[in-house]
Amino acid sequence: MWYWYLLIPILFLSLIAQARVKSTFNKYNNIGTKSGLTGTQAARMILNMNNLHNVRIEGVSGELTDHYDPRSNVLRLSDSTRDVNSIAAIGVAAHEAGHAIQDGVNFVPNKIRASLVPVARIGSAAGPYLAIIGVVISYSVEFGMTLAYIGLALYVFAFLFYLVTLPVEFNASNRAVKILSATGILAPDELKGAKKVLNAAAMTYVASTISALFSLLRIAVIVLSGRRRD
């Protein structure tokens, strides 16, 4: 029963976080800024200020699909950000520029997250299945529990990826707020709105990490229960 008692509030938290970031973004994406800059212009200005002239800015379809790709040195801004002059668009663009700055200064948590990507993808996709299959076949196959432990270990890396993402995202937002404030790209009253957008987005990462922790605990309980029966 503990599984269901925990699952429901975690799902509720995730839904609330997603709804909040969307409503907050939509609210401040309808409010223009005094500077008149678009998301692309603000991002380019921030990148140039940090000697990141080699980072290209490209478009990507969708809403809130903005991201920085360190492999190709490309900052991709979504349709809702790229050519839009709004508090939300500039806030999001500055946040993604913050990731480019992290890459430029070799921000340690960012490097750790990048190194975890390959195994985290495998762990997230295959870890739970390997753990469950291993426990099931352990009744008749000798290496069953070994397979279960491998699945559990793989998912640990997936959880670590979510965990290290938190300082990476919070740091990118902090960098964005400081730069927007110091450069005057956003006025003080506009900066308050940008902070709300970035804080709402940060809560989605917190919710995802809590969900990943819950999944890890569930897999661990299944594997350990299988070991006791064995």
Amino acid in position 204: T
- Residues 25 and 81: their CA atoms lie apart, in Å, by 10
In SS3 terms, 153-204 reads as HHHHHHHHHHHHHHHHHHHHHHHHHHHHHHHCCCCHHHHHHHHHHHHHHHHH
Q: How would residue 10 be classed by pLDDT, with cut points 50, 70 and 90? A: confident
With cut-offs at 50, 70 and 90, classify the pLDDT of residue 192.
very high
From residue 115, how far is each of 154, 160, 168 by CA, in Å? 14, 11, 13
Q: Is the pLDDT of residue 70 over 60?
A: yes
Q: How far apart are CA 88 and CA 196, in angstroms?
A: 9
Spatial neighbors of 10 by CB under 8 A, at least 6 apart, are 207, 210, 211, 214
pLDDT at position 3 is 65
Whether residue 144 contacts residue 134, with contact meaning beta carbons closer than 8 Å, is answered with yes
CB count in 10 Å sphere of residue 128: 20
Exposure string over 198-215, b if 16+ CB within 10 A, otherwise e: bebbbbbbbbbbbbbebb
pLDDT for res 139: 78
For residue 7, give the DSSP letter.
Answer: H
Element (H, E) at 33: none
Collapse the DSSP code of 68 into the 3-class scheme (helix H, G, I; strand E, B; otherwise coil) and give the result.
strand
Which alpha helices (DSSP H) does 30-143 contain, by range?
39-49, 87-104, 108-137
State the pairing for strand pair 56-60/74-78. Answer: parallel
Instruction: Please name the residues in contact with 219: beta carbons below 8 A apart, sequence gap of 6 or more.
Output: 127, 128, 131, 132, 151, 152, 155
Average pLDDT over residues 63-78: 94
Q: Specify the pLDDT at position 227.
A: 64
**Cβ(64)–Cβ(46) under 8 Å?**
no
33-44 per-position pLDDT tens digit: 999 999 999 999
> pTM for the complete prediction?
0.90
**Annotated catalytic sites, by residue?**
96
Q: Provide mean pLDDT across the span 194-206.
A: 96
Residue 229 in this model has a pLDDT that exceeds 70: no
Could you report the per-residue pLDDT of 122-155, keeping only the tens digit for each?
999 999 999 999 999 987 777 889 999 999 999 9
Task: Supply the Cα-derived Rg of the chain in whole angstroms.
Answer: 21
Q: For 215-230, what is the mean pLDDT?
A: 80
Q: Other C-beta atoms within 10 Å of 87: how many? A: 27
